Chain A
Amino acid sequence: DSGVTQTPKHLITATGQRVTLRCSPRSGDLSVYWYQQSLDQGLQFLIQYYNGEERAKGNILERFSAQQFPDLHSELNLSSLELGDSALYFCASSVEGRLAGKTDTQYFGPGTRLTVL
Chain B
Amino acid sequence: AQKITQTQPGMFVQEKEAVTLDCTYDTSDPSYGLFWYKQPSSGEMIFLIYQGSYDQQNATEGRYSLNFQKARKSANLVISASQLGDSAMYFCAMRATSGTYKYIFGTGTRLKVLA
Contact = CB atoms under 8 A, between A and B. Distances in A.
A100 interface: yes
A33 B103 contact: yes
**Interface size classification for chain B:** 20 to 34
Nearest to B34: A100
Contacts of A90: 45
A9 to B, nearest CB: 10
Contacts of B64: none
Interface string A83-110: 0000010101000011111101111101
Interface of A: 2, 33, 42-43, 45, 48, 55-58, 88, 90, 92, 97-102, 104-108, 110-111, 113
**8 nearest A-B pairs in the assembled complex, by CB-CB distance:** A108-B45, A100-B33, A43-B105, A56-B101, A100-B97, A56-B100, A100-B95, A100-B32
